[in-house]
Structure 1
Amino acid sequence: MTVEFSPEHEQLRSVVADFVAGEVAPNAAAWDREERFPLEAVRTMGKLGLFGIPFPSRYGGGDGDFTSLCIAIEEVAKADSSLAITLSAGVGLGASPIYRFGTDAQRERWLPALVRGEALGAFGLTEPEAGSDAGATRTRAERVADRWRLRGEKAYITNSGTPITSVVTVTARTDEGISAFIVPAGTAGLTVLPSYRKLGWRASDTHGIVLEDAEVGDDALLGAPGAGFRQFLATLDEGRVAIAALALGLQEACLREGLEWAKARNAFGGPIGRFQAIAFKLADLEVAVEASRHLVYRAAWLRDQGRPFAREAAIAKLYATEAAVSAAREATQILGGAGFIEDTPVARYYRDAKILEIGEGTSEIQRLVIARSLGLSPS
């Protein structure tokens, strides 16, 4: 398959690139330094329709495809991974589960504001004792008359404590298995813990949450009782492709910064890009970018065609994220001492890259998925 984009895709890329150049790139370093959630930029993304790309127009969406969402995430990530993950999680983890598994009433209640970017949703899956082993969920939901009472704790939840967070969908153990519940922000018993001090993604909103006898009605159950495990696996497949698109954008940023430095920095009588040691690093980065682009958009295309894509999602996520970590390391090496200083963006790229190998399924989990697709049963 050759990766080809429609005129509509290219127009979207141009619109997002203009937004990134004008509003994101000039401010990303300050947002990171101040660990400040860029609320106005998020609202602008909403006005541009980015949060609504893959949703139907009846909810205020753009009737677009998953490929379009990946393009938007890639372009934002070329300047700021924090804002890119805000978009990715807002769509894929906040709004998408409600759209895919919710009732008409749930969709009508929650989706319009989420789709317009006027509100953000979060997805509470990970727990202090249940990360890659998501089936080990300890949070419980107990039936009490016509309501559900939730007790437990979630960790590392993106978009869970922003000024515009409206809802957190959480997984909890019920008699039927793991179920999912829509918990409105401000629900009594729902506590958003202080934000984490993170290595990277410092302008992204990330908190733990505690549920202490938080009660929700029957209308908060997302999908059938016991269906939560299957639902979050389906959610993660799309999320892995989106993270791979983010990783692609970060690679392109590293290549851009490394190439500019190689042409401008002089040593031993000329630009350092004339040395094989530097030129070959940049050539390898270009190869990784092209390979990542193919893997990301093939997986996205399969998703858009309604074909199985879990294996391709794992491959794209594994390759693109590990390539992003390598790209950040090599860009820092090309810049030398300057790359170690926070005044240059590659230092931020280096810090932002590592989480890509962890979030939405670690590299080890991706290898497990791929190995199983080969008919193997690794333990």
Structure 2
Amino acid sequence: MTTTEQPRMPVARTCPFAQPEQYTRMSEEQGPVRAAIPNGKQAWVVTRHEDARSVLNDRRFSSDRLKPGFPFLVEGGNPFRRNPKPSMISMDAPDHGPTRKAVVGEFTVKRITSLRPRIQEITDSLIDDMLAAGGEADLVEMLSLPLPSLVICELLGVPYADHEFFQGNTKMLVKQSTGEYERLAASDRLRDYLGDLVTAKEAAPGDDLLGRQIVKARAEGTFDHDALVSMAFLLLLAGHETTANMISLGTLALLENPDQRAKIEADPGRTLDAIEEMLRYFTVVDTVTSRVATEDVEVGGAAISAGDGVIVLGYTANWDPAVFEAPERLDLERGARHHVAFGFGPHQCLGQNLARAELQIVFDTLLRRIPTLKLATSVEELPFKTDSAVYGVHRLPVTW
């Protein structure tokens, strides 16, 4: 870098409408840069869109979190290292493909289309409750968090009555300042909970994702209790936290850009393009796509050695001016479908069709049913998640 001070990762994101100064400095370099990480070592940080897609689609970069050199951005390293079986997010070929294929049918466009009436029903019910509560509400508490939580619980067959338990432990896992032992304890509690749930479903598989996986795997002679628990862990964790934060930040974007909001209200056909731009602009999970090199590789002019950790910085990739004109401008008509907010390559987000459906339904319904919606406070007073691996806002007071 052009500065004498070496960058450190992770970086706190303090403003929803501007990337951190360190991200800007790193992205001004000609290629990947070296940064210090919490274990006292260094990792490469990939900032450019072209380089990000290259790394994420290259099998010479491993997703295996047990490999030496994998760049964890929390104290203590891998919070899931006690899990008997890795989840698909930590798998490489040849294990990753069959594991993903076993469940991908649950997230096809056709399957998600069949879920849309239920997602709409849940959305309307939550907005009914908002309106019944009076003229002011916390959107996070009453809509952003319960909507994806309810949907993923119904999809997996997890009792929603337990949502406070898994949401509380999830918060500890994604909070970057959580201590090592607290993080491991939260991971153990979630895994024990899901282990008991899978055991119960083994005795009586229901018509839900976990039940269908049990029936299918038994018929194929491939059933593995621990592997299913790991899959459930990943889907439950990823299935509510990311979408919840996108609902909140997307609503904030609509409220802070009334001219663009008016165009969507006039033509809901624009909503999907708006969602793609929101995903690009906010990139709520900006460092989850980390890797470790298994061979010597050159990326963007940098010689990356086998064993080097690599952090693919999705945020700067999605703000790359070589790909997105005036990336700092939120343009809800941009339709930026080649962003990397869902990753890229073999590990591209399994649940992206579900996330898009939830976002489209909630934004269209919210704008239609509460057209006078506005912030109940200033943006400067909002409590943003500056210490979380998933960026968002803790509370979003709104009024109408």
- Superposition TM-score, scaled by structure 1 size: 0.28
Higher strand share: 1
Higher helix share: 1
